[in-house]
Amino acid sequence: MRIVVLVSGTGSNLQAVIDAVAKGSLPVEIAAVGADRPGTYGVQRSADAGLETFEVNFKDFSTRTDWDAALLRKVASYAPDYVVSSGFMRIVAPGFIDAFEGRYVNTHPALLPSFPGAHGVRDAMAYGVKVTGCTVHFADAGVDTGPIIAQTPVEVFPEDTEDSLHGRIKVAERELLIKVLADLAGRWDSVQA
């Protein structure tokens, strides 16, 4: 099963996927890792791991439509079976969703449908929930919407800061992502067989 991973930031969850693949515990080929801006640590650590990387810098395009088309072209050029948004902080166009329908997987640091958006951890804390968590789902053209594949709850402690809570969520998130990818790889093999 070939995947392309999209990142916007540090890619610590991606690193866990890279490590699981390297250890032989995740039967997935990372065809490429791409970002929407230059200089992300996610792309850097992928290059360090010897992976193919690319950047489709949002700011290099004069229209949103041009960026959408360039991202789709680039990702499709790797012929991935699944595309994984791992901390990729941009909504993709409906054309991208159509091209990878049921094959575009997103992770989110909250229990969707609660607290979608860029500040899922902060928003959950501000609401005062006692349990939050992470979600891996098939993304559609909305903001953190689409069929849920799996979730893990994470308890909120009174002494938590956004960083401490997000840190624990990310530990759960990377385990969940690896498990989901392993499940999809199993399913993918049986589809191919």
Among 83, 173, 184, 188, binds ligand GRF (CB under 6 A): 173
Q: Which stretch binds ligand GRF (CB under 6 A): 50-58, 104-112, 125-133, 146-154?
A: 104-112
CA–chain centroid gap for 124, Å, is: 20
How far is residue 171's CA from residue 173's CA, in Å, rounded to a whole number? 5
Minimum CB separation from ligand GRF for residue 164, in Å? 13
- 135 makes contact with ligand GRF (CB under 6 A): no
Q: Do residues 134 and 156 touch, judged by C-beta distance below 8 A?
A: no
How far is residue 58's CA from residue 60's CA, in Å, rounded to a whole number? 6
Residue 42 phi, psi (nearest 5): -60, -45
Single out the residue of 181, 53, 191 nearest to residue 105, CA to CA: 181
Question: Using CB under 6 A as the criterion, what x/- string covers residues 57-96 for binding ligand GRF?
Answer: -----------------------------xx---------
Q: Which stretch binds ligand GRF (CB under 6 A): 72-80, 91-99, 106-114, 180-188?
A: 106-114
How far is residue 68's CA from residue 168's CA, in Å, rounded to a whole number? 33
Single out the residue of 88, 69, 73 nearest to residue 5, CA to CA: 88
Which of the residues 17 through 46 are near ligand GRF (CB under 6 A)? Answer: 42
Single out the residue of 96, 133, 36 nearest to residue 124, CA to CA: 133
Q: Do residues 88 and 6 touch, judged by C-beta distance below 8 A?
A: yes
- 11 makes contact with ligand GRF (CB under 6 A): yes
Q: Which stretch binds ligand GRF (CB under 6 A): 12-20, 22-30, 62-70, 90-98?
A: 12-20
Minimum CB separation from ligand GRF for residue 78, in Å? 20
Among 13, 46, 53, 132, binds ligand GRF (CB under 6 A): 13
- 146 makes contact with ligand GRF (CB under 6 A): no
Minimum CB separation from ligand GRF for residue 8, in Å? 7
Torsion region of 145: left, alpha or beta (phi above 0 gives left; psi -120 to 50 gives alpha): beta
**108 an active-site residue?**
yes
- Residues in contact with ligand GRF by CB under 6 A are 7, 9-14, 42, 86-87, 107-109, 170, 173
